[in-house]
Chain A
Amino acid sequence: MSEKEKERYLRQLGLEEWDQDKLKSAKVFVAGVGGLGSAASLYLAAAGVGLLRLCDSDRVALSDLNRQVLYSEKSLGKSKVQEAKKRLVALNPEVTVETKAEAINRDNIEQLAAGCDLIVDGLDNMETRFVLNGYSVRKRIAYVYGAIHGWVGMASLILPPRTGCLACLMPSLPPAAGPIPVAGFIPGTIGLIQAAEACKYLMGVKGTLAGRLLIYDSRALTFDLIDWGKNPLCSVCGEKK
């Protein structure tokens, strides 16, 4: 590390089990830079993850600004990944930020996420999450799942083949939802939990959400931690499928 990096990361270098070199050499694929992805990528950049590959085909809209904290009114109408890159690089020029202004699907996920060590889920629909899940299982790549709705958010760390996958949790695709109600602090909270899980995994820190689902209900004031076992009959990761 340079002297400048040592000063930049001074406050986290003192943490037990912290390994800045591992973060610096890591490559993270951020699928979606909306509410979840904005928060997660901001703190991944702040922590010094070496490479962030941001993938999102959307442009910034006014209704995004209650929760997508990488953007401002000056971003309106512009590519999310380009605006996100500007903000992240301004925060931490030590981080390499790649951009893919594309919508993820089964045909392009391998090319989009190629070479990455971990996927962070910043998506807004289950169909594409199942694409990420399938890729994660096939390639045995860590997948930090996150999702939100209203006052509730959830997160987990999927580590194939050790843990269950998204299809173990939800064997069938839930019906598609229209625009969902959400306040910014919900994806903000879950996005930061995702950043924490990503960093812990990349550094080999014990005590992650692997095999467990964290459900945060801001209205009920509860954090529930659920054991999420592997389904041997799972259509995606099951050994007996």
Chain B
Amino acid sequence: MINVFLKAGSELRLKLKPDVDYYTRRVETEGGKTLREILRQIGLDPAFVAFAYSEGKLRNLDYIPQDGQNITLQPPVSGG
């Protein structure tokens, strides 16, 4: 099993249910799962996530996180 730290702001933060700090939730999961699978594991509909990023790089929902990795989830941002 590995630990992945998911971070989200705005309304997505409430859906994520942070437990580490105001923005972050620790998720224990099997290694090799995609971000999409991890989101479903915690009951968060992937449709609420437009994209994700970590270490300054864009990640799509097919990305496979590594143990201890911090990943920020970005909801759709469409206003102007």
Contacts and interface: CB of A to CB of B under 8 A. Distances in A.
B53 A224 contact: yes
A154 B80 contact: no
A151 B12 CA distance: 12
A180 B26 CA distance: 29
B40 interface: no
A160 interface: no
Contacts of A154: 77
Contact of A152 (B10, B51, B60, B80): B10
Interface string B1-24: 000000001110000000000010
Contacts of A148: 77, 79-80
A164 B22 CA distance: 32
A25 to B, nearest CB: 27
Given A149-B10, A224-B53, A174 B76 contact: yes
Interface residues of B, number: 20
Interface string B46-80: 01001101001110100000000000101111111
B76 A170 contact: yes
A150 B10 CA distance: 7
A126 B75 CA distance: 13
A187 B80 contact: yes
B75 to A, nearest CB: 7
Contacts of B56: 224-227
Interface residues of A, number: 42
Nearest to B74: A215
A146 B80 CA distance: 7
Nearest to A40: B80
Interface string A211-223: 0010101011000
A50 interface: no
Given A149-B75, A174-B50, A226 B80 contact: no
A205 to B, nearest CB: 22
Contacts of A224: 53, 56, 72
A177 B9 contact: no
Contacts of A220: 9, 23
Interface stretch (A14-22, A72-80, A117-125): A117-125
Contacts of B10: 149-152
Interface stretch (A29-37, A133-141, A195-203): A29-37
B61 to A, nearest CB: 10
Contacts of B53: 224, 226
Interface in A130-184: 146-154, 169-171, 174-177, 180, 182
A213 B58 contact: yes
Given A150-B9, A169-B58, 7 more contacts: A35-B79, A37-B80, A149-B79, A170-B50, A170-B76, A177-B79, A226-B53
13 contacts: A34-B80, A36-B80, A122-B80, A124-B79, A149-B77, A151-B10, A152-B9, A152-B77, A171-B60, A177-B76, A187-B79, A224-B56, A226-B53
